Amino acid sequence: MTGAAAAIDYNRGWIDKPKGNFMSAPSRRPEIRRRRTRAEKVAKLRKRLATATVSGDKDRLAAKLHRIGLVSPGNPLIKNV
């Protein structure tokens, strides 16, 4: 039995798993933890940037967010003004 979708062979009782790169649970957990802690760190830095009053602090926090944003695909973490 072949194909991209999983199919059950009712005569034999086995499942033909789809082809692809799937992470096992032990390797998925650290990845989920990394993503969660990174998201928390970004939220914390954004909050500190929003409340910063001194331009030196704003520049430093913006630089940190920019460095974090360089290694992540997608939208930038801070808006360019």
Q: What is the pLDDT of residue 4?
A: 44
Q: Is the CB of residue 1 less than 8 Å from the CB of residue 15?
A: no
What is the value of pTM for the model shown? Answer: 0.62
Ramachandran quadrant class, 8 (left: phi over 0; alpha: psi -120 to 50; beta: rest): beta
76 within some domain: no
Residue 44 resides in a domain: yes
| Among the listed residues 76, 67, 46, the one whose alpha carbon sits nearest the alpha carbon of residue 58 | 46
Could you report the per-residue pLDDT of 24-79, keeping only the tens digit for each? 778 888 889 998 999 999 999 999 999 999 999 999 999 999 999 888 777 777 77
pLDDT at 17 over 50: yes
Flag whether 79 is in a domain. Answer: no
Number of structural domains in the chain: 1
Flag whether 55 is in a domain: yes
| pLDDT band of 5, cuts 50, 70, 90 | very low
Whether residue 39 is contained in a domain is answered as yes
Domain of residue 38, residue span? 7-70
